[in-house]
Amino acid sequence: MPALPDTSNPAFHYRWSWMFHASPEQVWPLVSDTQRFNEATGLPTTQVTETPNPEGGSRRTIQFRRFGISVIWDEYPFEWIQPQSFGVLRVYHGGPVAWMQIILSLTPQGSSETQLTYEIIIHPANFSGYLVIPVQVGWISRRAFDRVFHQIDAALQEQTRNRTAFPLAVTPLHPSADARIQSIEQQLKEVAYDADLVTKFVSYIREALDADLMRIRPFALADDWGVDRVRMLELCLYAARFGLLDVSWDLLCPKCRGAKSTAPTLFNVERHVHCPSCNIDYEVDFDHHIELTFHPNPGIKPIERMVYCVGGPQNTPHIFVQQVVRPQSTKSFDLSLESGRYRIRGPRIPGRIERVEAGEEPGGPAKSMVMITPEHGDDQLHLIIDDHGIHPVDPHIKSGGTRVTFENKTAIEQVVIIEKMAWSDQAATAAQVTTLQTFRDLFSSEVLRPMEQITVTNLTIMFTDLKGSTAMYHEVGDASAFGRVMDHFKVLRQCVSTHHGSIIKTIGDAVMAAFIDPAEGVAAALDMMQEIATYNADNPSPPLCIKVGLHTGSCIAINQNDRLDYFGSTVNIAARIEGQSNGDEVVISESVMSDLGVKQFLADSTLIVTSCTAELKGFQESFPLYRIASRNKKEPE
């Protein structure tokens, strides 16, 4: 904890305990969710002011009103170690309280129980504090905590969902909403969605807690219900199109990963964003920093976004450790982490980067990348923070129990963070959403503002072309040939849509499509070959023959002719690779072939994969390519 303020008045010290019939790992996500816990215990909503700290990060001043009285305090950074403990120090501006320190700790009791200890140290500022504190904290808060902790324990024993553990607000429907909801429910069922899923989803919008509906994440909801993620995303998109939901593009900070800014449409998204909490400027990209979320349309259910706590552990669940280390001092603790890549950083550590470019990791000298493996590495981690940054910069430790020591050799207090590098895969990112054909069909007007360019760091681009189309027009006439070209577009569109991609545009007889998953792109391409062969069996003269090329890499999302489009070398290379196809075969680049999902897909014995090297027009280097064809492919004459 930070150094406690000086005070001449003796403190009240409360220490309460509860037993939970679950492990600390099960209890932690609920009791450390301070946003929901504060609401459940009856605390009022807060207003937060974040002031940039010249040393890095920001200072938070928080205010709420209760019984007509305004309560204001400076909130120091929360400290926590998952799933062991968390705490916070608050210093008040006037009123009956000088400062308050809260510490919650979890101690395992055997293999299936946990003791929770809640400590409050609170110093009165004046005589009225001696009257108010025993009533508000010692009696009212104690009873509220007891009620909520018992409800959490009951929910854990019943193995119910997390949201049922808290008795939170449910806003009633708008008075005129019921008829609209019934109409929308019928519309959703008519677009070929499972009727039971639609009924469950509509009931969820009617009855769920406000805390769950303020920011609906379709992939997280799909995982919670055990249904396909893309189906849930498409259901939410249709629900937004029909007026049940509204969309929000959340701009996520690369450090705290919080949605510090939102935009109602892609047109309102700006590439350069500032996070007031981390006090950094950053560039958003489609892969990580822009997430599509949903909330009820105000005409259905007018939910207000309430803030009860902004600094608790569940606001940044990717952070496993956050500790304050005083100047010229050390802090040690035991920690157990799973295998993976972690980053150690701090907002005030010398060498910090205050601007993060798209696709880059924030840090520089102010970060240390940690690799944790089950077999190799140390069982102790000693990190030194000095005027040059963090040392060592690349430690390697074992998974499981580790003794961690932070040594602060600087002259200022440091906030040191250990966080997981991997982003949550439950985010429906802009890269995923905009490559979905359903989104393109329902929200074709969703484009970036003119001249805005946003990076997509990993996208698979497909180009196709109809071989011999000029000769076909001459052979069968314009009308007949045009009809066959349109039929071919329908086939390609269906294959792209089935594999969660989208048609970006057509260029003459050619198609440009995009996929977030390279394996889905390859599968779509091979399906095209099969479906065109089936079409040719029914329409033999003249047979259609398509060429397909795919490449994976980074590109730029832009507004082109009021449509969301992609440009860059990746797009150009994909177009050139398509030109290497002889027809009735798919040609892919090394970047596509190196994807694990593609390798697994191509293990199918019915496919023939041959490697080659080609020089592509406009590029100096030679490109390793792979030709994919079915074993029963008819060789071109």
pLDDT digits (tens, 9 = 90+) for 348-400: 887 654 444 444 444 445 556 666 666 666 778 888 999 888 887 667 777 77
The rounded distance, in Å, linking the Cα atoms of 277 and 128 is 34
pLDDT tier at 3, thresholds 50, 70, 90: low
- Residue-level pLDDT at 351: 61
- Residue-level pLDDT at 633: 56
For range 316-328, the mean pLDDT? 94
pLDDT tier at 451, thresholds 50, 70, 90: confident
In one letter, which amino acid is 307? V
Is it the case that residue 164 has pLDDT exceeding 80? no
Mean of pLDDT over the chain = 89
Torsion 36-147-162-333 (CA) sign: positive
Q: Cis ω on the peptide bond leading into residue 83 (within 30° of 0)? A: yes
Is it the case that residue 2 has pLDDT exceeding 70? no
From start to end of 53-158, where are the E strands? 58-66, 69-75, 79-81, 85-92, 97-109, 113-124
For range 270-287, the mean pLDDT? 89
pLDDT, tens digit, 9 for 90 and up, residues 452-493: 899 999 999 999 999 988 888 888 888 888 998 999 999 999
Residue 125 burial by Cβ neighbours in a 10 Å radius (0-12, 13-18, 19+): middle
| pLDDT above 90 as % of the chain | 65
Choose from 155-164, 348-357, 394-403, 621-630 the range with maximum mean pLDDT. Answer: 621-630
The rounded distance, in Å, linking the Cα atoms of 356 and 529 is 43
pLDDT, tens digit, 9 for 90 and up, residues 30-41: 999 999 999 999
- Residue-level pLDDT at 44: 93
pLDDT tier at 4, thresholds 50, 70, 90: low
In one letter, which amino acid is 303? I
Q: What predicted TM-score, i.e. pTM, was given to this entire model?
A: 0.87
Which residues are paired to 384 by β-bridges?
Answer: 391, 407
Fold of 444-630: Alpha-Beta Plaits (3.30.70)
3-state secondary structure of 589: strand
- Residue-level pLDDT at 511: 96
pLDDT, tens digit, 9 for 90 and up, residues 572-591: 999 999 999 999 999 999 99
The rounded distance, in Å, linking the Cα atoms of 55 and 352 is 10
Is it the case that residue 317 has pLDDT exceeding 80? yes
- Residue-level pLDDT at 618: 87
Is it the case that residue 201 has pLDDT exceeding 90? yes
Choose from 262-266, 290-294, 476-480, 482-486 the range with maximum mean pLDDT. Answer: 290-294
- Residue-level pLDDT at 358: 46
Q: Who's near 220: CB < 8 A, 6+ residues apart?
A: 426
- 301 neighbors 205 (Cβ within 8 angstroms): yes
For range 534-543, the mean pLDDT? 86
Which residues are paired to 389 by β-bridges?
Answer: 386
- Residue-level pLDDT at 1: 57
Q: How far is CA 506 from the centre of its chain?
A: 31
pLDDT, tens digit, 9 for 90 and up, residues 60-114: 999 998 777 889 999 999 999 999 999 999 999 988 999 999 999 999 998 899 9
CA of 630: how far to CAs of 262, 289, 530, 534, 604, in Å?
Answer: 47, 39, 9, 14, 10
In terms of Cα–Cα distance, which of 366, 418, 423, 416 is closest to 397? 418
The rounded distance, in Å, linking the Cα atoms of 510 and 489 is 9
- Residue-level pLDDT at 17: 98
Q: What is the DSSP annotation of 410-444?
A: SSS-EEEEEEESSPPTT--BHHHHHT-HHHHHH-T
The single-letter DSSP state of residue 136 is I
Q: Where in the chain is the domain with CATH 3.30.70.1230?
A: 444-630
Is it the case that residue 181 has pLDDT exceeding 90? yes
Q: What are phi and psi of 571, to 5 degrees?
A: -65, -45
Q: Who's near 502: CB < 8 A, 6+ residues apart?
A: 434, 435, 436, 437, 439, 440, 496, 513, 514
- Residue-level pLDDT at 258: 87
In one letter, which amino acid is 96? P
Is it the case that residue 540 has pLDDT exceeding 70? yes
For 179-188, 289-298, 386-395, which range has the lowest pLDDT when averaged over its residues?
386-395
Residue 157 or 213, more confident: 213
- Residue-level pLDDT at 405: 92
Q: What are phi and psi of 277, to 5 degrees?
A: -70, -45
Fold of 12-165: Alpha-D-Glucose-1,6-Bisphosphate; Chain A, domain 4 (3.30.530)
Q: Where in the chain is the domain with CATH 3.30.530.20?
A: 12-165
The rounded distance, in Å, linking the Cα atoms of 559 and 569 is 17
In terms of Cα–Cα distance, which of 610, 463, 431, 429 is closest to 551? 463
- Residue-level pLDDT at 428: 95
* Token pair in block for residue 61: 């001043």
3-state secondary structure of 357: coil
- Residue-level pLDDT at 213: 95
CA of 19: how far to CAs of 103, 113, 278, in Å?
Answer: 16, 7, 36
- Residue-level pLDDT at 360: 47
Q: Who's near 575: CB < 8 A, 6+ residues apart?
A: 463, 512, 549
Alpha carbon distance, N-terminus to C-terminus of the chain = 78
